[in-house]
Amino acid sequence: MSAIPAAVPPQARNVPVTSDEKLMAAAQQLEATFLSEMLKASGFDASNGAFGGGDGEDGFASFLRDAQAENIIAAGGIGLAESLFDAMKVRVYA
């Protein structure tokens, strides 16, 4: 299995942040939140079997969901961020 490369934020690249980059970052955050909630609804974080982590696992399950959602975004996402970006761009520049 290959590792998913981490996205490098514009600030770390020493490149000025444009409005479009800010809008895309906001759109990707919205998509990540949506995906995290969908993973929760699908039972992704449900403990199963005799080797479940108990109360501790339940407390940290949201962090795992959030990390999985961010990895999905880094791998290309489901296209929601692009749609949100286009909609926000029209509203901001109109």
pLDDT tens figures, 35-55: 999 999 998 766 666 666 667
**Euclidean distance between CA atoms 93 and 87, whole angstroms:** 10
- Give the rounded distance of the alpha carbon of 87 from its chain centre: 19
Q: Residue ranges per domain, the chain? A: 18-41+58-93
**Euclidean distance between CA atoms 53 and 56, whole angstroms:** 6
Question: Taking residues 58-80, what's their average pLDDT?
Answer: 90
pLDDT tens readout for residues 22-35: 999 999 999 999 99
- pTM here? 0.70
**Euclidean distance between CA atoms 67 and 69, whole angstroms:** 5
